[in-house]
Structure 1
Amino acid sequence: MSIIPSIFGGRRSSIFDPFSLDIWDPFREFPIPSSSDLSNETSALVNARVDWKETPEAHIFKADLPGIKKEELKVEVEDGNVLQIFGERNVEKEDKNDKWHRVERSSGRFTRRFRLPENAKMEEVKAAMENGVLTITVPKTEAKKTDVKSVEIKSLESYIQVLIDVLTAETRQNRVTPLVSVYEESCYRKISSEFL
């Protein structure tokens, strides 16, 4: 049995090992928290964890915010497509007759921002708070259906014939000089002899 603490900061615990039980630390009960304790406490509030899931119908955000009332939260849309979540947990009012033994719950403010894609309907954002979980739903616009036009695949001969017909028609209307028509005819004969 080892009485040396592990390198990961904790002692091995076993009910059969009397040396593995935590030893009383007088400084741990001290009313002033260390800087590492402060950073751990405030980080839970400042870095509120948020999940963002995209479904075919909507973007869904879920944030675990235990101990925060819905009146202490604010959800806003900024710059058209930025979703902002603000929260503030207030300090409990102290009574002079109260004696505190430990203060571990944090208070303070947090802000989280998310830039949503263009398919988000920001004017239809909905938020709900239940059991310490904030759920924000941002519906999505329907995907635009693209116009599909099928193109007929023709043989090279028929494609060249269409070009000749167009140029011949333009020549008759004096839009193109007859020289172009003569040149086109010679090209047609050359291509036809090579490919046909």
Structure 2
Amino acid sequence: MTQSTPSAQRRSNLKHRAILDAAAQAVAQQGYAAVTIEGVAALAGVGKQTIYRWWSSKAALLVEVYSDLVSRQALTPRSNGSLEQRLTGLLSALFRLYRSSSAGAILTGLIGEASRDEQVRAVLAEGLVVGRADIVTALVQAADASLNAQAVNEVVIAVVWQRLVLQPDSLDEAFAQHLAALALAAGRLS
């Protein structure tokens, strides 16, 4: 068995980062639909086989790009204030990310493609619906065990995705506050 050297691992990490950054840049410049693996590879300065070694599809790559953008923005709820204030703060930060990066365009593209492609739907469900659900549910569970955290999370996802596709300009601080109140009310009812 061969072991990777520290310099080989460093080069691999640099290529990985270059691919994520190139994919985010490509979506920002061209829009989700126009992005290709070949185009991302050219922007990143790698062969497309390098991309396919790590990701099975454009959707899988862009789910990771989205997750990376969200993670780099450190969308962690504040530890002070009421649950509604903390959820509002989290949503406000997410909406700012959508306006300042390609994250919103990536998610909109994935949602649209998932409506037509079962494989993309599976990648989206696994990578974002299941993979990121703990952000909202953990916040709710830690603050108020009597609320249905899953219901709160489902309302947040449904409304954000609907607005992101149909009314992206409505995703602002005022709407974050409205959605937080709505989602928490749903959590009390279920």
TM-score of the two chains, using structure 2 as the length reference: 0.28
TM-score of the two chains, using structure 1 as the length reference: 0.28
Pick the structure with more helix per residue: 2
Pick the structure with more strand per residue: 1
Bigger relative contact order, structure 1 or 2 (CA pairs below 8 A, ≥6 apart)? 2
